[in-house]
Chain A
Amino acid sequence: MKRAFSICGAVSPSRCASRAARVGVLLVVSLVAGGAGDQPTFGRTTPIPVPRGHAVRTAVLADVDGDGRDDVVVSTRRVGKRGDSRFLRVHLRRADDVPFVAEPDATWEVDEAVTAWTVGDVDPAPGAEIVLFTANSVFAWRPRAPEGQGFVRLLDASFLFQFADPKEAFAFEPAVRDVDGDGLDDLVLPEPEGYRIAIQRRGPGGSRFDAPSVLHVPEDQSDGDEGEASGSRKMRARAARKQLRVALSIGGDDAEATGDLLAVTERIPAPQLVDFDGDGRLDVLAQTSHQLHVWRQQPDRTFGTAPDASYDLPVVADRKRRFDVSYTALTADIDGDHRADCVLLAGDKNSDDVRTQVLLYTQAGRPGAAPLFGEKGLPTQLVVIAGFAGTPRLIDVDGDGRPDLTAGSMRLDALDAVAAAAKGTIDAEMYVYLNTGAAFSRTPALTFPVSLKADGLRKARDVLVARFIGDVTGDGIREILLRDEPTRLRLHMVRRTKDGLTVVPQPLFETFVTPDARIVVREHAKSPPEVLILEDTLVRHVRWP
């Protein structure tokens, strides 16, 4: 219990009352319920094993049965003598202390044509459905439907991910979204030339997704000799995802003849659904190498084929920039005017030291004919982060309702590298720049050192090192989930101080994970977040009551 008091004691007294009671009670409950002795066991973990011969590929937390609580859908792979099989296993949440049991409530051997899936309420039946994507169609699997009525065709589309992987049907959650704000899930499908947005219309006969809007992303100007031409589908050198493959062919004159029978690459910018113009409707933004394109949602819930507006990017996202490990562009309403703003992170090419520029562009800061970026592309705010910055996110850390900027940074000079080699760790820092209403704080409100253990990094499949997840303690401030060692997952409380924010050193929760485990975080608007730990033969569900 000493540990419990130390956690409570770390909380600001002025904000402690109900929160302290909640944390204290939860700790007691947790320890009585069979926690690991003296270890902090704030969270509750429920194992969901998969059958022998199956391997966990991915999992999603979503409310499938419509009871208001998230269930777990697990995608597995089974290796058999006749090849691989893929399965989706639905585990509904129980109301008791053990929310999930090993036996699934529904199982389906995934058809070989299915490339991806997610969960969405796309049918009038109670609860949600499993939405299945094939190269040409979207289907819904209704796990509780009577025999023979389990599958419903929703839409024809040219889904970007056409090639099914026999080892895995991957989860693609961005494809389901309430686009028109009517409370029903709609479909946002990436296609080779753009996006297909189908609004759900629910009537007595069921749900319909007819007359979708087809958005066409304009081809950008070529990167010229420095990169591949936009629109080219077959490339030998690719830089779009900070990844490069250079194929050098050495051989006779017929070397090409011995190459691939067929090679296809299709790519499209990830669409962002935000309210660009402040009219209360979600619009679609997409960034190509040189431009930001905007499709405005019309009052009749449709979108045009061509963008309604296109703006030249202030930092061209050409191949050279995409090699920049710090380069990221994010969009959200930063200044509270209900219009989307833009945050760019880019390495400072003019500096001898490694450093990253954070450029904030707000629509309020650049009114007129060229909103957001202005005529000259000058930012509303410039913040400099030393080192290579990465994994930026725009999330409300301090609970004031405004998105703050979080980012990690790694600074390495010769001395750092020698020290790193001696210790076997790489030192990095996590920063939180609080939203001040019109911009971000000039200096970070929180600087949190993270020491990454190098040994075992090679086996780690997950990139999660440190991430702010939803409020667990009830103080309105997000906590930080940390995996600085491949086999340790910890949750630390973040609390407010008079100077900003601080991370309580003693973890609220800690557990061992296998080195190759992957972490899935599910955020909730009004309740604490939940986490799935995906290991080879087991999914572990972690919740903080």
Chain B
Amino acid sequence: MLSIGTLLIAQFGGARGYAAQDDDGPPPAHAQRKLARVESLVTTFPIAAHRILDVDGDGRDDLLAIGRAGEVRVWHWDQATGRAGAEPSGVLVLPEPDRSVLAIADLLGTGGRPQLCVVSRRGLEAYPVGTDGAFARAPVLVSKEVSLSLRVGEPTFANVLRDVNGDGRPDLILPRGETCELWLATAPAVAGAPPAMHRVGAFKVDVQRDHAVEAGALSDVLESSFRIPPLSFRDVNGDGRKDLVVEDGKIRAFHLARPDGTIAPEPDVRKDLSEFQDTTPAAEVRLGRTLAGGDDQRFDSTDLDGDGIPDYVISHRRKVWVFRGSSAGPQFTEAWQVLRVADDVSAMLVARLDGDPKPDLLLLRAQVPTVTTLLRGLVASWDVEIASVGYENVTSAGDAKGPFATAPKWKGDLALRLPAILGILKDPEALVKRFETLEKKLKRGFVWGDFDGDGRADAAVATQAERHLDVWFGVERGGAAAVADDADIGSVFFGTETTWDIERVLQWLGDYADRRFAKVTGSRDPSLRAALRPAAEAELQDAGVLSDGAGKAAAIVVAYTDEAGQGVFDVWR
């Protein structure tokens, strides 16, 4: 029987594939190997999300596709043929697709196959895997108390289920608007029952919201948007348990995790940053300039002395306070060091400025033109002047004097030169496209796997701009992370280049992206290359690796959406 899926595969060329060594790519090093598109899977519905994971617990990865109308379907790969059937498994349709936040987790504590967990107005539900290897139609209600009131438009994966207290059970972080609620999962009273969810409290998060309500013109667009950050968990007392850190405006609150896995709803340490006041008057700025960033306190936190416990740096105007964290947690009563600096601080960063691994202190004073001065910038370029000083981290174990040298080791002045405003207004698209090109470069994400079965890590990238699928054999996994993000900051602020225009900024960021990329690939040409679908045919989403369950990458799955919004998955081997 010719199925709809088969027809759709035929429509997209099926197993015809794009052979490696296309005309537009360099010849691969592994000339004897080729990438072949062996299969194309197409959903029969507009797609909202997909995941590659082992759904049925056979050790091999499957493809989970979620439709915008709530369809949940799973493709399994046959071990013998190496192919997925044209028809996916599953009959589940989520009842509230536009209000469902999804996560994959073993919420029911079966120790086996994870469930599709859904938070919606109906509560927190877990859909276990059925006999057909797909998620069952009937959910297990874990908690009716936990309900999501927000509309998310379509089924949306979010990192709402994670083990925050290290007890092995996924806990719930529930977005509630201005706050996120933390619900800890505990063992059920009756064996086999769902876990009990205990609400710890609601914690403020810095929500960004925006709305456009102008409606008088045909070209007006009504828009509503919001972004809810996650709750922040990090070990602030070195006990190995992640503690809850809440940022609420100028308030910093620390909720320490207890040995029994609980987290107190009231903070163990709470500090209002506005208490840190430098009473010296604000410094003068150059005529026609104004200090960027206002008169607020700055706050940063990182481990300064290498004891594995974060320390804290706070600045206001010309004063910097450093507080040492300990096994008792954060404290803001006894300053480890107080620095007085010459200029008002408009930005502060604790980052590596030299070759050693210890983070140093970078203080910036940015002056921007006043509006009147800026009028000249309508037709000519204009500068943001940034004066910077760097204090070296000289701390050693047990150092009581403070982590930073009392005098700056580095000083620099640079100008960020911005283009004429009228020039931007005439053709804003030109500038935007350059940033988007850079963004694509920065977003090049590797997928990892042992594609050739030699036991070494290989990497693959589906590049948006060039529409290539590139594979490198035998790479250094984690190499990109070895390019320390802050390693070059010192060279920017204290280097020989003192004027940074947009060209130079883009170049620097592009070089950074290239360095990260080259750290993995060794600047080699790809071992294999294949052409992806043209942009006019389908929009590239991402690439993922199918594991065969024996440690080998069975295939690379490149995901697209077509014009109808359907999910298209090309399987490359």
Select which of A266, A270, A330 is within 8 A of B225 by beta carbon: A266
Q: Determine if B429 and A192 form an interchain contact, defined as CB atoms under 8 angstroms apart.
A: no
Question: Roughly how many angstroms separate A285 CA and B565 CA in the complex, as a whole number?
Answer: 25
For the complex formed, measure the closest distance between the CB of B372 and the CB atoms of chain A, giving whole angstroms: 5
Q: How large is the interface on A (under 10, 10 to 19, 20 to 34, 35 or more residues)?
A: 35 or more
For chain A, what secondary structure do more than half of its interface residues adopt (helix, strand, loop), or is it mixed?
loop
Q: Determine if B222 and A263 form an interchain contact, defined as CB atoms under 8 angstroms apart.
A: no
Question: Roughly how many angstroms separate A205 CA and B478 CA in the complex, as a whole number?
Answer: 71
For the complex formed, measure the closest distance between the CB of B492 and the CB atoms of chain A, giving whole angstroms: 12
- A164 close to B (CB within 8 Å): yes
User: Beyond A250-B512, A455-B372, is A163–B439 a contact (Cβ under 8 Å)?
Assistant: no
Q: Which of A9-17, A302-310, A420-428, A474-482 contacts B (4 or more CB under 8 A)?
A: A420-428
Q: Which of B57-65, B301-309, B376-384 contacts A (4 or more CB under 8 A)?
A: B376-384
Select which of B209, B217, B481 is within 8 A of A328 by beta carbon: B217
Chain B positions 431-482 with a Cβ under 8 Å from a chain A Cβ: 432, 435-436, 438-439, 442-443, 445-446, 478, 480-481
- A190 close to B (CB within 8 Å): yes
Question: Roughly how many angstroms separate A253 CA and B380 CA in the complex, as a whole number?
Answer: 39
- Chain B residues within an 8 Å CB radius of A247: 439
For the complex formed, measure the closest distance between the CB of A171 and the CB atoms of chain B, giving whole angstroms: 8
For the complex formed, measure the closest distance between the CB of B484 and the CB atoms of chain A, giving whole angstroms: 10
For the complex formed, measure the closest distance between the CB of A457 and the CB atoms of chain B, giving whole angstroms: 5
Q: Determine if B509 and A248 form an interchain contact, defined as CB atoms under 8 angstroms apart.
A: yes
- A236 close to B (CB within 8 Å): yes
For the complex formed, measure the closest distance between the CB of A21 and the CB atoms of chain B, giving whole angstroms: 36
Q: Determine if A248 and B222 form an interchain contact, defined as CB atoms under 8 angstroms apart.
A: no
Among A266, A292, A327, the most chain B Cβ lie within 10 Å of the Cβ of A266
Q: Determine if A192 and B372 form an interchain contact, defined as CB atoms under 8 angstroms apart.
A: no
For the complex formed, measure the closest distance between the CB of B104 and the CB atoms of chain A, giving whole angstroms: 14
- Chain B residues within an 8 Å CB radius of A261: 158-160, 173, 175, 180, 205, 228-231
| Closest chain B residue to A233, Cβ basis | B153
- Chain A residues within an 8 Å CB radius of B445: 253
Chain A positions 382-441 with a Cβ under 8 Å from a chain B Cβ: 388, 393, 412-414, 417-418, 420-421, 424, 426
User: Beyond A236-B439, A261-B160, is A388–B153 a contact (Cβ under 8 Å)?
Assistant: no
- B400 close to A (CB within 8 Å): no
Question: Roughly how many angstroms separate A219 CA and B561 CA in the complex, as a whole number?
Answer: 15
- B375 close to A (CB within 8 Å): yes
Q: Determine if A252 and B220 form an interchain contact, defined as CB atoms under 8 angstroms apart.
A: no
Chain A positions 437-491 with a Cβ under 8 Å from a chain B Cβ: 454-458
- B295 close to A (CB within 8 Å): no
Chain B positions 167-181 with a Cβ under 8 Å from a chain A Cβ: 173, 175, 177-178, 180
Select which of B152, B220, B222, B370 is within 8 A of A262 by beta carbon: B152
Question: Roughly how many angstroms separate A225 CA and B433 CA in the complex, as a whole number?
Answer: 10
Q: How large is the interface on B (under 10, 10 to 19, 20 to 34, 35 or more residues)?
A: 35 or more
- A268 close to B (CB within 8 Å): yes
Chain B positions 544-560 with a Cβ under 8 Å from a chain A Cβ: none
Q: Determine if A272 and B150 form an interchain contact, defined as CB atoms under 8 angstroms apart.
A: no
- B154 close to A (CB within 8 Å): yes
Among B156, B370, B372, B426, the most chain A Cβ lie within 10 Å of the Cβ of B372
Chain A positions 151-196 with a Cβ under 8 Å from a chain B Cβ: 158, 160-166, 170, 172, 174, 190, 192
| Closest chain B residue to A160, Cβ basis | B224
- A287 close to B (CB within 8 Å): yes
| Closest chain B residue to A251, Cβ basis | B485
Q: Determine if A262 and B156 form an interchain contact, defined as CB atoms under 8 angstroms apart.
A: yes
For the complex formed, measure the closest distance between the CB of A455 and the CB atoms of chain B, giving whole angstroms: 6
Q: Determine if A250 and B442 form an interchain contact, defined as CB atoms under 8 angstroms apart.
A: yes
- A244 close to B (CB within 8 Å): yes
- A125 close to B (CB within 8 Å): no
| Closest chain B residue to A190, Cβ basis | B222
Q: Determine if A417 and B375 form an interchain contact, defined as CB atoms under 8 angstroms apart.
A: yes
- Chain A residues within an 8 Å CB radius of B231: 261
- Chain A residues within an 8 Å CB radius of B480: 252-253
Q: Determine if B154 and A270 form an interchain contact, defined as CB atoms under 8 angstroms apart.
A: no
Select which of A251, A252, A268 is within 8 A of B222 by beta carbon: A268
Q: Determine if B435 and A248 form an interchain contact, defined as CB atoms under 8 angstroms apart.
A: yes
- Chain B residues within an 8 Å CB radius of A454: 371-372, 374-375
User: Beyond A421-B373, A426-B375, is A270–B222 a contact (Cβ under 8 Å)?
Assistant: yes
Select which of B227, B371, B379, B426 is within 8 A of A260 by beta carbon: B227
Select which of B214, B219, B379 is within 8 A of A317 by beta carbon: B219
- A267 close to B (CB within 8 Å): yes
Q: Determine if B173 and A287 form an interchain contact, defined as CB atoms under 8 angstroms apart.
A: no
- B211 close to A (CB within 8 Å): yes
For the complex formed, measure the closest distance between the CB of A520 and the CB atoms of chain B, giving whole angstroms: 14
Q: Determine if B150 and A163 form an interchain contact, defined as CB atoms under 8 angstroms apart.
A: yes
Question: Roughly how many angstroms separate A166 CA and B249 CA in the complex, as a whole number?
Answer: 14
- Chain B residues within an 8 Å CB radius of A393: 216
- B7 close to A (CB within 8 Å): no
- B536 close to A (CB within 8 Å): yes
Q: Determine if A164 and B177 form an interchain contact, defined as CB atoms under 8 angstroms apart.
A: yes
- B535 close to A (CB within 8 Å): yes
User: Beyond A251-B485, A253-B480, A417-B380, is A266–B371 a contact (Cβ under 8 Å)?
Assistant: no
Q: Determine if A325 and B376 form an interchain contact, defined as CB atoms under 8 angstroms apart.
A: no
Q: Determine if B154 and A262 form an interchain contact, defined as CB atoms under 8 angstroms apart.
A: no
- A265 close to B (CB within 8 Å): yes
Q: Determine if B425 and A270 form an interchain contact, defined as CB atoms under 8 angstroms apart.
A: no
Q: Determine if A160 and B509 form an interchain contact, defined as CB atoms under 8 angstroms apart.
A: no
- B101 close to A (CB within 8 Å): yes
- B287 close to A (CB within 8 Å): no
- Per-residue B-contact encoding for A314-344, CB less than 8 Å = 1, 0 else: 0001011001010111110000000000100
Chain B positions 405-440 with a Cβ under 8 Å from a chain A Cβ: 422, 425-426, 428-429, 432, 435-436, 438-439
Q: Determine if A287 and B218 form an interchain contact, defined as CB atoms under 8 angstroms apart.
A: yes
- B503 close to A (CB within 8 Å): no
| Closest chain B residue to A326, Cβ basis | B425
User: Beyond A250-B512, A420-B378, is A320–B228 a contact (Cβ under 8 Å)?
Assistant: no
Chain A positions 176-234 with a Cβ under 8 Å from a chain B Cβ: 190, 192, 219, 221-222, 224-225, 229, 231, 233
Chain B positions 59-109 with a Cβ under 8 Å from a chain A Cβ: 98, 101
Question: Roughly how many angstroms separate A221 CA and B565 CA in the complex, as a whole number?
Answer: 11
- A33 close to B (CB within 8 Å): no
Q: Determine if B535 and A267 form an interchain contact, defined as CB atoms under 8 angstroms apart.
A: no
User: Beyond A224-B536, A270-B215, A329-B217, is A262–B209 a contact (Cβ under 8 Å)?
Assistant: no
Among A237, A241, A263, A270, the most chain B Cβ lie within 10 Å of the Cβ of A270
Q: Determine if B149 and A135 form an interchain contact, defined as CB atoms under 8 angstroms apart.
A: yes
| Closest chain B residue to A347, Cβ basis | B426
Q: Determine if A270 and B485 form an interchain contact, defined as CB atoms under 8 angstroms apart.
A: no
| Closest chain B residue to A292, Cβ basis | B218
Q: Determine if B428 and A262 form an interchain contact, defined as CB atoms under 8 angstroms apart.
A: no
Question: Roughly how many angstroms separate A327 CA and B429 CA in the complex, as a whole number?
Answer: 14
Q: Determine if B226 and A417 form an interchain contact, defined as CB atoms under 8 angstroms apart.
A: no
| Closest chain B residue to A219, Cβ basis | B565
Q: Determine if A240 and B218 form an interchain contact, defined as CB atoms under 8 angstroms apart.
A: no
Q: Determine if B229 and A240 form an interchain contact, defined as CB atoms under 8 angstroms apart.
A: no
- Chain B residues within an 8 Å CB radius of A262: 101, 150, 152, 156, 158, 175, 226-228
User: Beyond A252-B480, A260-B229, A270-B220, is A457–B380 a contact (Cβ under 8 Å)?
Assistant: no
A-B contacts, 30 listed (Cβ < 8 Å):
A158-B98, A161-B224, A163-B209, A192-B98, A222-B539, A248-B435, A248-B442, A248-B509, A250-B485, A252-B485, A253-B478, A261-B160, A261-B180, A262-B152, A262-B156, A262-B158, A263-B226, A265-B223, A265-B225, A266-B223, A266-B225, A267-B221, A270-B221, A323-B428, A325-B425, A330-B219, A414-B379, A417-B378, A418-B376, A458-B371
CB-CB nearest 9 A-B residue pairs: A270-B220, A270-B215, A329-B219, A265-B225, A267-B223, A329-B218, A261-B230, A417-B379, A174-B215
B: residues with CB less than 8 A from A are 98, 101, 149-154, 156, 158-160, 173, 175, 177-178, 180, 205, 209, 211-231, 370-376, 378-380, 422, 425-426, 428-429, 432, 435-436, 438-439, 442-443, 445-446, 478, 480-481, 485, 509, 512, 535-536, 539, 561, 563, 565
Sample of 5 further A-B pairs with CB below 8 A, known A241-B221, A252-B480, A263-B226: A192-B151, A262-B152, A262-B156, A330-B217, A458-B371
